Structure 1
Amino acid sequence: MVDSTATEKDGAGFKIIYQILITMLVIAIIPLGGLWYIGIHKSRQQWTANIYRNLVENTEHLTRSVDDWTNMNLRLLEQNAALPAILGMDSNGQNPVLKAVTDTYEWIYLAFTILPDGQNLGRSDGKPVTFYGDREYFKQVLGGKPMGQQVLLGKTSNKPAFILAKPIKGEGAKNHGVIAIAMTLEDLSKTITKTRIGETGYAILLDDTNRLIAHGQGEVSSELQDFSSHPVLSQRNRFDHDSFVFEDNGKKIVAFSKRTGQGWTLIVQQDYKEAYAAADQAQRNALLLLLVTLATVIVIAYLLARRLSTPIRNLTLIADEISRGNLNAVIKEKGRSDEIGALARAIDRMGVSLQMAFERLRKR
């Protein structure tokens, strides 16, 4: 009987302390966890918006730079096309002017003129003339377009080159021929894509057929590169409809694209890990802070649970002693001013009443 009672008392004590502990933890953890989740979620959303805004701003800035760079070269062509030495359509007069162009602008490796029949007339490099009538930029200008452009393997450099061309027009807007400049893509990449975004962010410039004009990492091979399969252009490997996060060669990237004034495409991209590095670090720090806070809450809740359950267990033991006839048990909790103190004083009065009743019974 004694063992059964002791077991009952121990079980009751176990239930009280841990019920109090679990209740306090639930009350603390639910709002704390909710606030943490909401804070992390909103922080992630804000960081995503910042990354997107940064990509857009960099893309727009570079687009303006590309347009300014292109317009500068077109003005260069227009100004030289209007010079008497060029309008004279004589190679002896044109060659010094064309040579001055390549000497002044380091990214231009060849300046040249073409007759309406496609035959090369003047050259800045002094090499033998060649036939350019099969070139798309030449056909564009003779077809009436205000400018011609093409990415191709240069006949002079045997490397991928970017060509800009303008008509040579004399009196009456008669087309005397074409003036053009050729630029290697390596030099062009250095000139127009100097902007870096962190350690992994860079820009890619493509022509209207998605051929590479310039690459921020200088990755221009000896062959013409078609970037039509880039995930930003093909919209493949997109993580959701409204996302700017893509997968490129097994690696997640953030990217944004914009058309330039000439119909080219500028892509700005950055590794996903670097773009979200600060956000991920903030999330890890917040999680660490949450774990520390939870550990502190658990310790405090346990101490409070013990503080509340210990006097209750003591009073339970005293009540049990009184029920066994031990009316001299000392109740330490009588001095408390809370509900536990009131319970202790009630048990003490009960013990006194029982003593008085026993005394009356003995006197009879």
Structure 2
Amino acid sequence: MKIGKKLMLMGLVAALVPAASVGVLSVVQAGAGMESLMNAELSARSLELARYVDTVLDEELKLIQLIAMNPDAREVARSNGDDTVAADRLESLLGEMNRTVGLGDSYDVILLADRTGTVLTASQDGYVGINIGDRDYFRAALGGEVNVGAPNLNRVTGEPFVPLAAPVRRADGTVIAVAAGIMNPTFLSVLVDTTRIGETGYSYVIDRTGLVIAHPVRDHVFQLNTATLAGMEDITRQMTAGGQGVEDYVFQGDQVKAGFAPVPLTRWSVGLRIPVSEFMGPIVAIRNTVMIMSVVFVGITLIAFVLFSRGITTPLTKGVVFAEAVARGDLTTSIDVYRKDELGTLADALREMIAQVSGVVAGVRGASDNVAAGSQQMSSTAEQMSQGATEQAAAAE
């Protein structure tokens, strides 16, 4: 391999190795840093949203407890609905709360049921007389627990609902009835709609079975169960177990990262998710920039090495041509290299050498010419002497 090619190869390696190393290291570190920051943000914000949902539910439970502690509620429960005056007052109160208090407009109905689960009075028509004794929220409240029940379908409207219930007690603490608020779950979707991340990230809520009960896409509510979705098995298992953290999963073909946290009052879990392609977008931009800069750097370095190698190989080539000419006996040749470096010094030495050799050759030629002239003169003298001898011999005869 010629020196020029060796130099260019060395230049390519010298430029490519550090550029590639720095580029890869920068992208890897930036990616790790970005992912770490995103994990922290997803974890913190999902926990914040879970606490927010919990606080809202807690405030609504307090309102249901106020109804349960209302004297008219106790009187209606004690009389099993026969005290029509108290029943009318309570119905009026429930209707007013249904319209104005807390998330009142999100309630389908607020009702009072006796110990058997039969509804004694309600804020809306169509509920009095139905039985809710088999509902989990009713049984929990009958056992003395203020609770948020599992989402279910309303037997009157057929629509999904979220129940909140509290026990109605006598003065001695005995539970004699249950007050319940039946809420439309859209209030949850409205709550989670306010928490988004990035351009396409969003939050959602699932119940203890993995059923989606709040989602920006309303068609998913009470229709989608994450436990049955391929790619979401692991995160659903953690969420329904009350875990908190960050997990990667696949949803509808997209790689997603989500933070999740439990809602303490319930066995629900809040998820905050963002496509990996979105939060890694800046890293892709950095990678592309690094690649472009690396190509430019390598290109500039190669050009510099080409120019550098030519600066070395061109004088060397001229030196080779000069040496070959001298080897053929051409002492008139010259080397056209004038530089102020080692190659210039070499060229000066070669020129000095050819000058010295030319001088020696010229001296040899001069001496040779003198010898030839002396020889010729001696030959002429000998010839003259021979001729004289011949003439003398002839005269003697």
Identify unmatched segments of 5+ residues in structure 1.
1-13, 237-241
Alignment of 1:272-311 (within 5 A): 272-311=276-315
Larger Rg: 2
Matched residue SS, 1:204: strand
In structure 2, the gaps of 5 or more residues are 77-85, 237-244, 369-397
- After TM superposition, give the deviation of residue 205 of structure 1 in Å: 0.9
User: Structure 2 vs 1, CA of residues 140 and 162 (structure 1 numbering), >3 Å: closer, same or farther?
Assistant: same
Given that 2:196 and 2:272 are in contact with CA atoms closer than 8 Å, whether structure 1 keeps it comes out as no
Query: 1:168: Cα distance to partner?
Result: 1.6
Tell me, in whole angstroms, the C-alpha distance in 1 between the residues paired with 2:18 and 2:177.
77
Q: Is the 8 A contact 1:85 1:97 kept in 2?
A: no
Quote how far apart the aligned CAs of 1:83 are.
2.1
**Alpha carbons 1:210, 1:226 under 8 Å: kept:** yes
Give the equivalent residue in structure 2 for 1:102: 98
For residue 86 of structure 1, give the secondary structure of its aligned residue in structure 2: helix
Letter in 2 for 1:177: A
Equivalence for 1:353:
356
Match of 2:15 in 1: 28
Indicate if the aligned counterparts of 2:110 and 2:179 stay in contact, CA closer than 8 A: yes
Structure 1 position 194, deviation (Å):
2.0
Tell me, in whole angstroms, the C-alpha distance in 2 between the residues paired with 1:243 and 1:306: 58
Name the counterpart of 2:82: none
Residue 249 (1) aligns with residue 236 (2):
no
Equivalent residue number for residue 182 of structure 1: 182
1:7 is matched with none
Q: Distance in 2 between matches of 1:261 and 1:243?
A: 18
SS of the residue 1:228 aligns to = helix
2-structure distance, mates of 1:247, 1:156: 38
Q: Please state how far the C-alpha of 1:296 moved relative to its aligned partner.
A: 2.0
| 184-193 vs 127-136, greater mean Cα deviation | 184-193
TM-score under structure 2 normalisation?
0.80
How is 1:175-254 mapped onto 2 (pairs within 5 angstroms)?
Answer: 175-221=175-221, 225-230=224-229, 231-235=231-235, 244-254=247-257
Contact 1:186 1:220 in 2 (8 A): no
1:243 and 1:202 map into 2 onto residues whose CA distance is: 15
User: Per-residue deviation at 1:267?
Assistant: 1.3
**Correspondence for 1:81:** 68
- The reply on whether 1:121 has 2:83 as its aligned counterpart is no
Asked if structure 2 preserves the Cα contact closer than 8 Å seen for 1:254 and 1:275, the reply is no
Partner of 2:346: 343
Q: CA deviation at 1:148?
A: 4.2
* Deviation, structure 1 residue 189: 0.7
Corresponding position: 1:149 with 2:145: no
Question: Quick check: 1:232–1:257 contact (8 Å CA) kept in 2?
Answer: no
Q: Deviation at 1:151? A: 0.6
**Equivalent residue for 1:60?**
47
Question: Which range moved further: 141-150 or 49-58?
Answer: 141-150
Q: Determine the structure 2 residue equivalent to 1:239.
A: none
Question: Alignment RMSD, CA only?
Answer: 2.4
Q: 1:245 to 1:329 in 2, by over 3 A?
A: farther
Q: Which residue of structure 1 aligns with residue 36 of structure 2?
A: 49
Structure 1 residues 169 and 33: CA distance shift in structure 2, 3 A: same
**1:133 paired to 2:133:** yes
Per the TM alignment, residue 323 of structure 1 is displaced from its structure 2 partner at its CA by 1.6
Deviation at 1:338, TM superposition (A): 1.3
One-letter identity of the residue aligned with 1:26: V
Name the CA shift for 1:110/1:55 in 2 (closer, same or farther; >3 Å): same
Whether contact under 8 Å (1:136, 1:149) holds in the other structure is yes
CA distance in 1, matches of 2:125, 2:276: 49
Determine if contact 2:192/2:215 at 8 Å carries over to the other structure: no
Pairs aligned (count): 346
Give the Å deviation of 1:358. Answer: 1.6
Partner SS for 2:146 = coil
**Distance in 2 of aligned mates of 1:327 and 1:243:** 84
SS in structure 1 of the partner of residue 125 of structure 2: coil
Q: For the Cα contact (< 8 Å) 2:168–2:176, is it kept in 1? A: yes
Q: CA deviation at 1:340?
A: 0.8
Query: After the TM superposition, which residues 324-343 of structure 1 pair with which residues of structure 2 at under 5 Å, given as runs?
Result: 324-333=328-337, 335-343=338-346
Deviations 1:146-202 (A, max 9, x none): 324121011232111111111122312221211111122233211344212223211
Check the 8 A contact 1:151/1:160 in 2, yes or no.
yes
* TM-score w.r.t. length of structure 1: 0.87
The offset of 1:44, in angstroms, is 1.0
Q: Displacement of 1:225 after TM fit?
A: 4.4
Equivalent AA in structure 2 for residue 158 of structure 1: G
Moved more, 186-195 or 227-236: 227-236
3-state secondary structure, aligned to 1:110: strand
1:92 to 88, 93, 116: 88
Secondary structure of 1:126's counterpart equals: coil
| 1:69 has 2:56 as partner | yes
The structural deviation recorded for 1:256 is: 2.1
Q: Distance in 2 between matches of 1:322 and 1:283?
A: 57
**Amino acid aligned to 1:156:** V
Tell me the distance in 1 between the aligned counterparts of 2:136 and 2:13.
73
Letter matched to residue 200 of structure 1: T
Contact residue 194 and residue 216 of structure 1 kept, 8 A: no
